Amino acid sequence: MQVLQVQLEVGPDPAEVGRARRWARSRLVGSGIGDDEPLAETLILLISELVTNAVVHTGCPAVLRMLFGGSGASGAAGTVRVEVADASDRPPLQRHAEGDDTGGRGLELVDGLADRWGWLPEGAGKQIWCEVDRGGPLRPARTPSGVGGEVCEPPSCLFTNLA
């Protein structure tokens, strides 16, 4: 099975998050995922959260990657994988926002929208990844892989901190 991989370098500026969303939306359309499909909206939200976390919590440049057409950890064909990498060695920290808190919901959203997600240390930094299976109904995600020091699947690149 052929896998298409695209990537974008993201600077350490919050304005880069909007650029990453626009870039990702155009790549989704190019991969055959319609701009108005629920899958596209889910992926854009996941990308927005992961890139925002990288930019805001690390202050480092990051790399956004999307992989189309591969098999995910579950072996599902047509999985879309999103990866964000940076040079920070701080592991992601899933927080639990309360009431009117304006932050702390990013990884909760990723956990609720992705079919799988996790992180891996790599080199001097880390990789945060998530996967959404195409073709199946979108559903709440399960327990994240690789959180809390568990080993998850091999990295495709170096990714970012979501603390």
Q: What's the chain's length in residues?
A: 163
Domain of 92, in residue numbers: 4-149
Total domains in the fold of the chain: 1
Residue 75 falls within a domain, yes or no? Answer: yes
Using DSSP's 3-state secondary structure scheme, residue 7 falls into strand
Tokens 């992180």 belong to 119
Q: Is the pLDDT of residue 16 over 90?
A: yes
pLDDT of residue 1 exceeding 70: no
pLDDT score of 13: 93
Task: Examine residue 157 and state whether it is found in any structural domain, yes or no.
Answer: no
How many beta carbons lie within 10 A of that of residue 134, not counting itself? 18
**Residue 120 maps to a domain:** yes
Chain segment 107-121, per-residue pLDDT in tens: 888 999 999 999 998
* Selected residue with higher pLDDT from 73 and 151: 73
Predicted confidence at residue 71, as pLDDT, reads 64
The enclosing domain of 87 has a CATH number of 3.30.565.10
* End-to-end CA gap in the chain: 35
Say whether 116 sits in a helix, a strand or coil: strand
Per residue in 21-35, pLDDT (tens digit) is: 999 999 999 898 998
| pLDDT value at 124 more than 60 | yes
